[in-house]
Amino acid sequence: MSEQVDLRASDPQLSGRLVECRDFFDLPELKHLPADRKAQALAEMRRAGTYVQTPEEILIGAKLAWRNHARCVGRKHWRTLKLIDARDATTAEAIAQACFEHLRVATNGGALQSIVTVGPTPLPDGREYRIISPQLIRYAGYRAVDGAVTGDPAHLELTQLATKLGWRGKGTDFDVLPLMISTPDEPIRWFDIPRELVMEVPLEHPNYRWFAGLELKWHAVPAVSNMDLEIGGVRYPCAPFNGWYVNTEVGARNFSDQDRYDMLPAIAKKLRLDMSSDRTLWKDRALVELNRAVIHSFRESGAYMVDHHTVAKQFVDHVDRETEAGRKCPTDWAWVNPPMSSGITPTFHRLYDPPDMDIRPNFVSRGALGCPFS
Ligand code: ARG
Protein backbone atom coordinates (compact mmCIF):
# COMPACT_ATOMS: atom_id res chain seq x y z
CA MET A 1 0.00 0.00 0.00
CA SER A 2 1.36 3.35 -1.03
CA GLU A 3 0.10 6.24 1.09
CA GLN A 4 -0.36 9.55 -0.73
CA VAL A 5 2.79 11.66 -0.81
CA ASP A 6 3.04 15.04 -2.45
CA LEU A 7 5.80 14.72 -5.02
CA ARG A 8 5.30 18.06 -6.69
CA ALA A 9 8.22 20.46 -6.69
CA SER A 10 8.76 23.72 -8.54
CA ASP A 11 11.92 22.25 -10.09
CA PRO A 12 10.78 19.56 -12.57
CA GLN A 13 14.08 17.69 -12.18
CA LEU A 14 13.54 17.53 -8.44
CA SER A 15 10.03 16.19 -8.86
CA GLY A 16 11.43 13.52 -11.20
CA ARG A 17 13.92 12.50 -8.53
CA LEU A 18 11.21 12.47 -5.88
CA VAL A 19 9.16 10.09 -8.03
CA GLU A 20 12.19 7.82 -8.48
CA CYS A 21 12.87 7.92 -4.77
CA ARG A 22 9.28 6.95 -3.94
CA ASP A 23 9.26 4.18 -6.55
CA PHE A 24 12.53 2.81 -5.22
CA PHE A 25 11.32 2.52 -1.63
CA ASP A 26 8.08 1.00 -2.88
CA LEU A 27 9.95 -1.91 -4.51
CA PRO A 28 9.28 -5.29 -2.89
CA GLU A 29 13.04 -5.71 -2.45
CA LEU A 30 13.00 -2.80 0.05
CA LYS A 31 9.88 -3.70 1.96
CA HIS A 32 11.89 -4.82 4.99
CA LEU A 33 13.27 -1.31 5.65
CA PRO A 34 11.88 0.71 8.58
CA ALA A 35 8.40 2.03 7.85
CA ASP A 36 9.43 5.69 7.97
CA ARG A 37 12.50 5.34 5.74
CA LYS A 38 10.73 6.36 2.55
CA ALA A 39 9.21 9.49 4.09
CA GLN A 40 12.57 10.41 5.58
CA ALA A 41 14.40 10.00 2.26
CA LEU A 42 11.73 12.00 0.44
CA ALA A 43 11.90 14.80 3.00
CA GLU A 44 15.68 14.94 2.77
CA MET A 45 15.51 14.93 -1.02
CA ARG A 46 12.99 17.74 -1.01
CA ARG A 47 15.09 19.81 1.38
CA ALA A 48 18.57 19.14 0.01
CA GLY A 49 17.97 17.91 -3.56
CA THR A 50 19.47 14.54 -2.66
CA TYR A 51 19.71 12.14 0.28
CA VAL A 52 22.27 9.78 1.71
CA GLN A 53 21.56 6.13 0.97
CA THR A 54 22.68 3.32 3.23
CA PRO A 55 25.19 0.77 1.90
CA GLU A 56 22.36 -1.77 1.95
CA GLU A 57 20.17 0.47 -0.21
CA ILE A 58 23.03 1.01 -2.64
CA LEU A 59 23.80 -2.70 -2.89
CA ILE A 60 20.17 -3.66 -3.47
CA GLY A 61 19.86 -0.76 -5.94
CA ALA A 62 22.96 -1.84 -7.84
CA LYS A 63 21.76 -5.44 -8.05
CA LEU A 64 18.44 -4.23 -9.42
CA ALA A 65 20.27 -1.91 -11.84
CA TRP A 66 22.07 -4.97 -13.17
CA ARG A 67 18.85 -7.00 -13.31
CA ASN A 68 17.14 -4.16 -15.20
CA HIS A 69 19.88 -3.53 -17.73
CA ALA A 70 18.48 -4.55 -21.11
CA ARG A 71 21.85 -4.96 -22.82
CA CYS A 72 23.41 -7.44 -20.40
CA VAL A 73 23.30 -11.15 -21.23
CA GLY A 74 24.95 -12.10 -17.91
CA ARG A 75 22.07 -11.04 -15.71
CA LYS A 76 21.40 -14.46 -14.26
CA HIS A 77 24.08 -13.67 -11.70
CA TRP A 78 22.66 -10.33 -10.51
CA ARG A 79 22.28 -11.57 -6.93
CA THR A 80 26.02 -12.18 -6.52
CA LEU A 81 27.07 -8.54 -6.92
CA LYS A 82 29.26 -7.15 -4.14
CA LEU A 83 29.71 -3.52 -3.16
CA ILE A 84 32.78 -1.47 -2.39
CA ASP A 85 31.43 1.68 -0.78
CA ALA A 86 33.90 4.41 -1.79
CA ARG A 87 31.67 7.42 -1.27
CA ASP A 88 34.31 8.94 0.99
CA ALA A 89 36.88 8.89 -1.84
CA THR A 90 36.77 12.58 -2.69
CA THR A 91 40.17 13.02 -4.30
CA ALA A 92 41.40 11.54 -7.57
CA GLU A 93 44.06 9.70 -5.58
CA ALA A 94 41.48 8.12 -3.25
CA ILE A 95 39.27 7.12 -6.21
CA ALA A 96 42.26 5.51 -7.93
CA GLN A 97 43.03 3.54 -4.76
CA ALA A 98 39.39 2.37 -4.62
CA CYS A 99 39.62 1.25 -8.27
CA PHE A 100 42.81 -0.69 -7.49
CA GLU A 101 41.06 -2.39 -4.60
CA HIS A 102 38.19 -3.12 -6.98
CA LEU A 103 40.56 -4.84 -9.43
CA ARG A 104 42.17 -6.86 -6.65
CA VAL A 105 38.84 -8.16 -5.32
CA ALA A 106 37.25 -8.60 -8.77
CA THR A 107 40.21 -10.50 -10.23
CA ASN A 108 40.42 -12.77 -7.19
CA GLY A 109 43.32 -14.72 -8.72
CA GLY A 110 41.22 -15.56 -11.78
CA ALA A 111 38.03 -16.66 -9.99
CA LEU A 112 36.31 -13.43 -11.03
CA GLN A 113 33.79 -11.80 -8.71
CA SER A 114 31.23 -9.22 -9.78
CA ILE A 115 31.91 -5.98 -7.95
CA VAL A 116 30.58 -2.46 -8.11
CA THR A 117 32.55 0.36 -6.51
CA VAL A 118 30.41 3.34 -5.69
CA GLY A 119 32.12 6.72 -5.45
CA PRO A 120 30.85 10.14 -4.36
CA THR A 121 27.65 11.76 -5.67
CA PRO A 122 27.86 15.07 -7.57
CA LEU A 123 28.28 18.26 -5.54
CA PRO A 124 25.18 20.46 -5.06
CA ASP A 125 26.44 22.74 -7.87
CA GLY A 126 26.51 19.79 -10.29
CA ARG A 127 30.27 19.23 -10.51
CA GLU A 128 31.07 15.54 -10.29
CA TYR A 129 33.69 12.85 -9.67
CA ARG A 130 34.21 10.77 -12.80
CA ILE A 131 36.43 8.14 -14.28
CA ILE A 132 37.23 9.25 -17.82
CA SER A 133 38.49 5.82 -18.88
CA PRO A 134 35.65 3.70 -20.33
CA GLN A 135 36.97 0.66 -18.45
CA LEU A 136 39.48 0.34 -15.63
CA ILE A 137 41.75 -1.66 -17.94
CA ARG A 138 42.13 -0.54 -21.57
CA TYR A 139 44.94 -0.89 -24.10
CA ALA A 140 46.43 2.21 -25.70
CA GLY A 141 46.32 2.87 -29.44
CA TYR A 142 48.87 4.92 -31.38
CA ARG A 143 48.63 6.17 -34.94
CA ALA A 144 51.95 6.47 -36.80
CA VAL A 145 52.60 9.15 -39.43
CA ASP A 146 51.90 6.63 -42.22
CA GLY A 147 48.46 6.02 -40.67
CA ALA A 148 49.23 2.55 -39.29
CA VAL A 149 47.90 1.88 -35.80
CA THR A 150 49.72 0.08 -33.01
CA GLY A 151 47.54 -1.20 -30.18
CA ASP A 152 43.78 -0.81 -29.85
CA PRO A 153 42.40 1.62 -32.45
CA ALA A 154 39.34 2.15 -30.24
CA HIS A 155 41.50 4.08 -27.80
CA LEU A 156 43.42 6.49 -30.02
CA GLU A 157 41.64 9.48 -28.53
CA LEU A 158 41.96 8.25 -24.97
CA THR A 159 45.66 7.60 -25.54
CA GLN A 160 46.11 11.11 -26.91
CA LEU A 161 44.45 12.51 -23.81
CA ALA A 162 46.71 10.46 -21.53
CA THR A 163 49.74 11.58 -23.51
CA LYS A 164 48.67 15.20 -23.31
CA LEU A 165 48.45 14.81 -19.54
CA GLY A 166 52.05 13.60 -19.43
CA TRP A 167 51.70 9.79 -19.57
CA ARG A 168 54.18 7.97 -21.83
CA GLY A 169 53.31 4.57 -23.30
CA LYS A 170 55.93 2.04 -24.37
CA GLY A 171 54.37 1.87 -27.83
CA THR A 172 53.49 -1.84 -27.81
CA ASP A 173 50.19 -3.38 -28.93
CA PHE A 174 49.16 -3.91 -25.31
CA ASP A 175 50.16 -0.92 -23.20
CA VAL A 176 47.71 -0.64 -20.32
CA LEU A 177 46.45 2.93 -20.23
CA PRO A 178 46.49 4.79 -16.93
CA LEU A 179 43.26 5.42 -15.07
CA MET A 180 42.13 8.95 -15.80
CA ILE A 181 40.02 10.61 -13.14
CA SER A 182 38.29 13.94 -13.02
CA THR A 183 37.13 15.56 -9.76
CA PRO A 184 35.55 18.94 -9.00
CA ASP A 185 38.71 20.48 -7.58
CA GLU A 186 41.58 19.01 -9.56
CA PRO A 187 42.56 18.93 -13.23
CA ILE A 188 42.21 15.43 -14.76
CA ARG A 189 44.76 13.19 -13.08
CA TRP A 190 46.18 9.87 -14.28
CA PHE A 191 47.38 6.86 -12.33
CA ASP A 192 49.32 3.89 -13.63
CA ILE A 193 47.63 0.66 -12.61
CA PRO A 194 50.04 -1.53 -10.63
CA ARG A 195 51.14 -4.44 -12.90
CA GLU A 196 50.17 -7.08 -10.37
CA LEU A 197 46.55 -5.88 -10.51
CA VAL A 198 46.23 -6.44 -14.26
CA MET A 199 45.71 -10.14 -14.89
CA GLU A 200 46.36 -10.89 -18.55
CA VAL A 201 45.89 -14.02 -20.63
CA PRO A 202 48.40 -14.82 -23.39
CA LEU A 203 46.54 -16.42 -26.29
CA GLU A 204 47.45 -19.87 -27.55
CA HIS A 205 45.49 -22.40 -29.57
CA PRO A 206 44.77 -25.96 -28.40
CA ASN A 207 45.90 -27.38 -31.81
CA TYR A 208 47.98 -24.78 -33.62
CA ARG A 209 51.44 -24.14 -32.17
CA TRP A 210 51.94 -21.05 -34.37
CA PHE A 211 49.05 -19.25 -32.70
CA ALA A 212 51.11 -18.22 -29.66
CA GLY A 213 53.55 -16.64 -32.10
CA LEU A 214 50.94 -13.98 -32.91
CA GLU A 215 51.72 -12.68 -29.41
CA LEU A 216 48.16 -11.76 -28.58
CA LYS A 217 46.86 -11.36 -25.05
CA TRP A 218 43.86 -9.83 -23.32
CA HIS A 219 43.03 -8.67 -19.82
CA ALA A 220 40.90 -10.94 -17.67
CA VAL A 221 38.56 -8.36 -16.10
CA PRO A 222 36.07 -6.23 -18.04
CA ALA A 223 35.29 -3.35 -15.64
CA VAL A 224 33.05 -0.72 -17.21
CA SER A 225 33.70 2.69 -15.67
CA ASN A 226 31.85 5.21 -17.83
CA MET A 227 28.24 4.55 -16.91
CA ASP A 228 26.16 6.28 -14.26
CA LEU A 229 24.49 4.15 -11.62
CA GLU A 230 21.03 5.56 -10.89
CA ILE A 231 19.24 4.43 -7.75
CA GLY A 232 16.16 5.93 -6.13
CA GLY A 233 16.66 9.39 -7.62
CA VAL A 234 20.36 9.50 -6.74
CA ARG A 235 22.96 9.42 -9.51
CA TYR A 236 26.45 7.95 -9.01
CA PRO A 237 28.65 9.02 -11.95
CA CYS A 238 31.63 7.21 -10.49
CA ALA A 239 30.52 3.58 -10.25
CA PRO A 240 32.80 1.10 -12.04
CA PHE A 241 31.40 -2.43 -12.18
CA ASN A 242 32.58 -5.74 -13.60
CA GLY A 243 31.38 -9.16 -14.54
CA TRP A 244 33.45 -11.59 -16.58
CA TYR A 245 34.07 -11.94 -20.29
CA VAL A 246 32.12 -13.91 -22.86
CA ASN A 247 34.69 -15.26 -25.35
CA THR A 248 33.01 -13.48 -28.26
CA GLU A 249 33.66 -10.03 -26.77
CA VAL A 250 37.37 -10.70 -27.11
CA GLY A 251 37.46 -13.15 -30.03
CA ALA A 252 34.62 -11.94 -32.22
CA ARG A 253 34.90 -8.20 -31.56
CA ASN A 254 38.09 -6.89 -29.97
CA PHE A 255 40.38 -9.04 -32.13
CA SER A 256 38.10 -9.39 -35.18
CA ASP A 257 36.50 -6.02 -35.85
CA GLN A 258 38.21 -4.29 -38.72
CA ASP A 259 38.43 -1.12 -36.68
CA ARG A 260 39.90 -2.96 -33.70
CA TYR A 261 42.83 -5.45 -33.81
CA ASP A 262 41.58 -6.86 -37.16
CA MET A 263 43.33 -10.24 -36.76
CA LEU A 264 41.22 -12.44 -39.06
CA PRO A 265 43.37 -11.95 -42.18
CA ALA A 266 46.59 -12.82 -40.31
CA ILE A 267 44.98 -15.91 -38.77
CA ALA A 268 43.48 -17.04 -42.10
CA LYS A 269 46.91 -16.78 -43.72
CA LYS A 270 48.44 -18.94 -41.02
CA LEU A 271 45.62 -21.44 -41.53
CA ARG A 272 46.44 -21.31 -45.29
CA LEU A 273 42.81 -20.67 -46.12
CA ASP A 274 41.66 -19.71 -49.59
CA MET A 275 41.17 -15.98 -49.15
CA SER A 276 40.40 -15.26 -52.79
CA SER A 277 36.72 -14.70 -52.12
CA ASP A 278 34.38 -14.06 -49.19
CA ARG A 279 32.48 -17.13 -50.38
CA THR A 280 35.20 -19.47 -49.13
CA LEU A 281 34.18 -18.40 -45.60
CA TRP A 282 37.81 -17.85 -44.66
CA LYS A 283 36.81 -15.12 -42.21
CA ASP A 284 34.23 -17.34 -40.56
CA ARG A 285 36.74 -20.20 -40.22
CA ALA A 286 39.43 -17.92 -38.80
CA LEU A 287 36.86 -16.49 -36.40
CA VAL A 288 36.04 -19.92 -34.99
CA GLU A 289 39.71 -20.79 -34.43
CA LEU A 290 40.38 -17.43 -32.80
CA ASN A 291 37.49 -17.98 -30.41
CA ARG A 292 38.66 -21.49 -29.61
CA ALA A 293 42.04 -19.96 -28.74
CA VAL A 294 40.40 -17.38 -26.46
CA ILE A 295 38.34 -19.96 -24.56
CA HIS A 296 41.26 -22.37 -24.29
CA SER A 297 43.73 -19.72 -23.11
CA PHE A 298 41.47 -18.24 -20.43
CA ARG A 299 40.88 -21.76 -19.13
CA GLU A 300 44.63 -22.52 -19.15
CA SER A 301 45.42 -19.27 -17.31
CA GLY A 302 42.77 -19.90 -14.68
CA ALA A 303 40.87 -16.74 -15.64
CA TYR A 304 37.13 -17.29 -15.58
CA MET A 305 35.26 -16.71 -18.84
CA VAL A 306 31.96 -18.01 -20.21
CA ASP A 307 31.36 -19.24 -23.77
CA HIS A 308 28.56 -17.81 -25.87
CA HIS A 309 26.52 -21.03 -25.86
CA THR A 310 26.55 -21.35 -22.10
CA VAL A 311 25.79 -17.71 -21.39
CA ALA A 312 22.89 -17.79 -23.86
CA LYS A 313 21.38 -20.80 -22.09
CA GLN A 314 21.85 -19.10 -18.73
CA PHE A 315 20.17 -15.99 -20.03
CA VAL A 316 17.00 -17.61 -21.41
CA ASP A 317 16.81 -19.53 -18.16
CA HIS A 318 17.01 -16.26 -16.30
CA VAL A 319 14.29 -14.69 -18.47
CA ASP A 320 11.99 -17.64 -17.77
CA ARG A 321 12.58 -17.40 -14.05
CA GLU A 322 11.92 -13.67 -14.07
CA THR A 323 8.64 -14.30 -15.88
CA GLU A 324 7.70 -16.92 -13.29
CA ALA A 325 8.44 -14.38 -10.57
CA GLY A 326 6.00 -12.02 -12.28
CA ARG A 327 8.66 -9.55 -13.38
CA LYS A 328 9.42 -7.98 -16.72
CA CYS A 329 12.89 -8.55 -18.14
CA PRO A 330 13.50 -5.72 -20.61
CA THR A 331 15.98 -6.99 -23.17
CA ASP A 332 17.80 -5.61 -26.18
CA TRP A 333 17.81 -8.52 -28.64
CA ALA A 334 20.73 -7.11 -30.63
CA TRP A 335 22.91 -6.89 -27.53
CA VAL A 336 22.20 -10.22 -25.88
CA ASN A 337 22.89 -12.17 -29.06
CA PRO A 338 26.53 -13.09 -29.66
CA PRO A 339 28.35 -11.56 -32.64
CA MET A 340 29.02 -15.05 -34.07
CA SER A 341 26.81 -18.13 -34.38
CA SER A 342 23.84 -16.30 -32.91
CA GLY A 343 21.36 -18.56 -34.69
CA ILE A 344 22.70 -21.61 -32.87
CA THR A 345 22.19 -20.05 -29.45
CA PRO A 346 18.77 -19.95 -27.76
CA THR A 347 18.80 -16.15 -27.28
CA PHE A 348 18.24 -15.77 -31.03
CA HIS A 349 14.94 -17.60 -31.20
CA ARG A 350 12.91 -15.51 -28.79
CA LEU A 351 11.14 -12.25 -28.33
CA TYR A 352 11.67 -10.27 -25.16
CA ASP A 353 10.10 -7.47 -23.18
CA PRO A 354 11.02 -4.24 -24.97
CA PRO A 355 14.44 -2.81 -23.99
CA ASP A 356 13.21 -0.14 -21.59
CA MET A 357 16.28 1.95 -20.81
CA ASP A 358 14.17 4.22 -18.61
CA ILE A 359 13.42 1.82 -15.80
CA ARG A 360 15.31 2.43 -12.59
CA PRO A 361 17.51 1.47 -10.87
CA ASN A 362 19.78 1.13 -13.89
CA PHE A 363 23.24 1.65 -15.30
CA VAL A 364 22.96 4.54 -17.73
CA SER A 365 25.30 5.32 -20.62
CA ARG A 366 26.97 8.68 -20.66
CA GLY A 367 27.02 8.68 -24.45
CA ALA A 368 30.31 6.83 -24.77
CA LEU A 369 32.49 7.51 -27.78
CA GLY A 370 32.56 5.06 -30.64
CA CYS A 371 30.57 2.00 -31.59
CA PRO A 372 27.11 1.54 -30.04
CA PHE A 373 27.72 -2.22 -29.76
CA SER A 374 30.81 -2.38 -27.57
N1 ARG B 1 32.75 -5.72 -24.56
C2 ARG B 1 33.61 -5.06 -23.62
C3 ARG B 1 35.05 -5.49 -23.87
O4 ARG B 1 35.30 -6.26 -24.73
C5 ARG B 1 33.24 -5.38 -22.19
C6 ARG B 1 31.82 -5.01 -21.78
C7 ARG B 1 31.38 -5.66 -20.49
N8 ARG B 1 31.44 -7.10 -20.62
C9 ARG B 1 31.16 -7.97 -19.64
N10 ARG B 1 31.29 -9.24 -19.91
N11 ARG B 1 30.79 -7.59 -18.44
O12 ARG B 1 35.96 -5.08 -23.19
CA of 317 to the centre of ligand 1 (A): 21
**Nearest Cα residue to 191 out of 158, 167, 161:** 167
Kindly give the distance from the C-alpha atom of residue 40 to the centroid of ligand 1, in angstroms, as a whole number.
38
Ligand 1 contact via 139 beta carbon (within 6 Å): no
The pTM (predicted TM-score) of the whole model is: 0.96
80 lines ligand 1 (CB under 6 A): no
pLDDT tens digits in sequence order for the chain, 374 residues long: 456 677 888 899 999 999 999 999 999 999 999 999 999 999 999 999 999 999 999 999 999 999 999 999 999 999 999 999 999 999 999 999 999 999 999 999 999 999 999 999 999 999 999 999 999 999 999 999 999 999 999 999 999 999 999 999 999 999 999 999 999 999 999 999 999 999 999 999 999 999 999 999 999 999 999 999 999 999 999 999 999 999 999 999 999 999 999 999 999 999 999 999 999 999 999 999 999 999 999 999 999 999 999 999 999 999 999 999 999 999 999 999 999 999 999 999 999 999 987 899 999 998 644 444 44
362-to-67, 119, 183, 282, 365 alpha-carbon distances in Å: 8, 16, 23, 40, 10
- 249 Cα nearest atom in ligand 1: 4
CA 154 to ligand 1 centroid distance, Å = 14
How would you class 147 by CB atoms within 10 Å of its CB: exposed for 0-12, middle for 13-18, buried for 19 or more? exposed
CA-proximal residue: ligand 1, atom 4 (nearest)? 249
Among the atoms of ligand 1, which is closest to the Cα of residue 135? 12
Q: Is the CB of 246 under 6 A from ligand 1?
A: yes
Cβ of 245 below 6 Å from ligand 1: yes
Query: Which residues are known catalytic residues?
Result: 72, 75, 244, 249
Mutate to test the pocket of ligand 1, among 116, 249, 250 (most ligand atoms within 8 A of CB): 249
CA of 22 to the centre of ligand 1 (A): 32
